[in-house]
């Protein structure tokens, strides 16, 4: 167990540093420490499953150590700038004012083809449309289009709008979601009034939603609205 | 903040558990080696098989706790060697008894080996 504890610490530190130097492209949606922890935990968990002679503690101990390290490391990254510099990758600007930055692309090992592919996924076909393309620490590319290429907003067009906010799920399959009801600023008396106006009991309701502008979406189990 | 304190406490608890476990396994190993040292180098008396059986029973009593951290194969090997030693002690075969005693000592020492803090172990 002593050996296992020390080996876990060494492997964790080594993998974090290796992933850190491998760069952002390997990460996908995860932060470095998340990825390392996920990789190690999945492997460790399978050990006692496949080999009965390995005690459960040989998997449980490293998993708990990794979990604790993960929480402590994420806390250290938030609190100490040097830890953030050491363990977390920084965003890299790949296109600046429509011009691809070859040096930055080389540093993060992103080819022009890959960058163009990522831009196409953001509905951009010409790098000249881009003010900034940024490779984020989680491996995704954020695109800020030039002002002249951005779609006009309703505000810019001078069209008056009202904020509908989000739809709150109030009743589903006859069950009241009281927390959502509260978040929508309503109460059960309001719900009773709505059901009364629709000539419907709670059990008959399949879906009832309301937005912040009091717009209601209503369906009974028989499909009536 | 609460999450970090819990994580730190968990880490310290695990380290403490590992240190306690290492001390426990060293204790069991030392006690077992001591008992083996007290056995005669040749099964000269009728009491030798009974003494070996007593050591085996004592070891069996420890296995429930040992199995939490020691691989089952290691414990099985020691138990098997204790049975063999008892058998050779009863048969009076001096050379086989001596060989089984040496093998058993090595296996008991191997049980504590992973708990020794050495570079070769870690690497």
Residue A63 contacts residue A45 (beta carbons within 8 Å): yes
Is it the case that residue A89 has pLDDT exceeding 80?
Answer: no
Where does B71-122 have alpha helices with state H?
72-91, 94-112, 119-122
In this complex, the residue of B17, B70, B122 whose CB is nearest that of residue A7 is: B122
Mean of the pLDDT values across residues B71-89? 90
pLDDT band at B26 (very low <50, low <70, confident <90, very high): very high
Provide the pLDDT for residue A169.
93
Joined together, the tokens standing for residue B44 give 């000269």
In this complex, the residue of A2, A64, A68 whose CB is nearest that of residue B22 is: A2
Joined together, the tokens standing for residue A57 give 């503690």
Measure the CA–CA gap between A143 and A138, rounded to whole angstroms. Answer: 14
Quote the minimal CA–CA distance from B123 to chain A in Å. 8
Residue A149 contacts residue A138 (beta carbons within 8 Å): no
Residue A20 contacts residue A89 (beta carbons within 8 Å): yes
Provide the pLDDT for residue A29.
62
State pLDDT tens for residues A153-164: 888 888 888 777
Cα–Cα nearest to A73, from B5, B4, B11: B4
State pLDDT tens for residues A58-72: 888 888 888 888 888
Name the CA radius of gyration of chain A, rounded.
Answer: 26
Give bridge partners of residue A210 from the DSSP assignment.
Answer: A168, A216
Could you tell me if B80 lies within 8 Å of chain A, comparing CB atoms? no
Residue B52 contacts residue B86 (beta carbons within 8 Å): yes
Give bridge partners of residue A144 from the DSSP assignment.
Answer: A132
pLDDT band at A181 (very low <50, low <70, confident <90, very high): very high
Provide the pLDDT for residue A93.
94
DSSP-derived 3-state class of residue B64? helix
Measure the CA–CA gap between B89 and B86, rounded to whole angstroms. Answer: 5
Could you tell me if B116 lies within 8 Å of chain A, comparing CB atoms? yes
**Across all residues in chain A, what is the average pLDDT?**
85
- The 8-class DSSP code of residue A21 comes to H
Please tell me the least confidently modeled range out of A27-36, A214-223, B70-79: A27-36
pLDDT band at B25 (very low <50, low <70, confident <90, very high): very high
Strand A141-145 relative to strand A99-100: parallel, antiparallel, unpaired?
A: unpaired
- pTM for this model (two decimals): 0.63
DSSP-derived 3-state class of residue A209? strand
Q: What is the 3-state secondary structure (H, E, C) of A76-113?
A: HHHHCHHHHHHHCCCCEEEEECCEECHHHHHHCCCCHH
Residue with tokens 């196409």: A120
Could you tell me if B38 lies within 8 Å of chain A, comparing CB atoms? no
Mean of the pLDDT values across residues B49-69? 88
Mean of the pLDDT values across residues A113-134? 91
């Amino acid at each position: 167990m002593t050996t296992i504890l020390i080996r876990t610490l060494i492997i964790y530190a080594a993998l974090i540093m290796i992933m850190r130097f491998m760069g952002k492209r390997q990460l996908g949606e995860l932060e470095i420490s998340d990825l390392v922890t996920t990789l190690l935990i999945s492997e460790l968990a399978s050990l006692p499953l496949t080999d009965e002679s390995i005690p459960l503690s040989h998997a449980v101990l490293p998993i708990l150590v990794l979990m604790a390290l993960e929480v402590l490391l994420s806390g250290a990254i938030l609190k100490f700038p040097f830890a953030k510099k050491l363990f977390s990758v920084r965003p890299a600007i790949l296109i600046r004012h429509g011009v691809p930055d070859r040096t930055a692309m080389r540093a993060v090992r992103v080819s022009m083809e890959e960058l163009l592919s990522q831009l196409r996924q953001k509905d951009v076909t010409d790098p000249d449309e881009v003010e900034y393309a940024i490779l984020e620490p989680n491996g995704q590319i954020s695109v800020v289009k030039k002002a002249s290429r951005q779609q006009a907003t309703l505000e810019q067009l001078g069209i008056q709008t009202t904020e509908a906010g989000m739809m709150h799920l109030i009743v589903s399959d006859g069950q009241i979601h009281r927390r959502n009801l509260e978040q929508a600023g309503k109460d059960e008396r309001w719900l009773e009034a709505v059901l009364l106006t629709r000539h419907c009991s709670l059990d008959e309701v399949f879906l009832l939603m309301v937005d912040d502008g009091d717009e209601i979406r209503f369906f009974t189990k028989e499909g009536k609205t | 903040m609460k999450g970090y304190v819990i994580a730190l406490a968990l880490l310290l608890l695990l380290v403490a558990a590992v240190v306690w476990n290492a001390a426990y396994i060293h204790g069991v190993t030392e006690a077992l080696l001591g008992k083996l040292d007290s056995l005669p180098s040749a099964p000269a008396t009728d009491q030798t098989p009974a003494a070996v059986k007593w050591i085996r029973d004592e070891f069996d009593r420890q296995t429930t706790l040992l199995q939490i951290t020691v691989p089952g194969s290691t414990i099985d090997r020691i138990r098997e060697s204790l049975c063999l030693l008892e058998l050779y002690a009863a048969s009076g075969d001096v050379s086989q008894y001596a060989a089984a005693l040496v093998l058993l000592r090595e296996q008991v020492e191997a049980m504590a080996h992973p708990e020794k803090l050495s570079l070769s172990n870690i690497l």
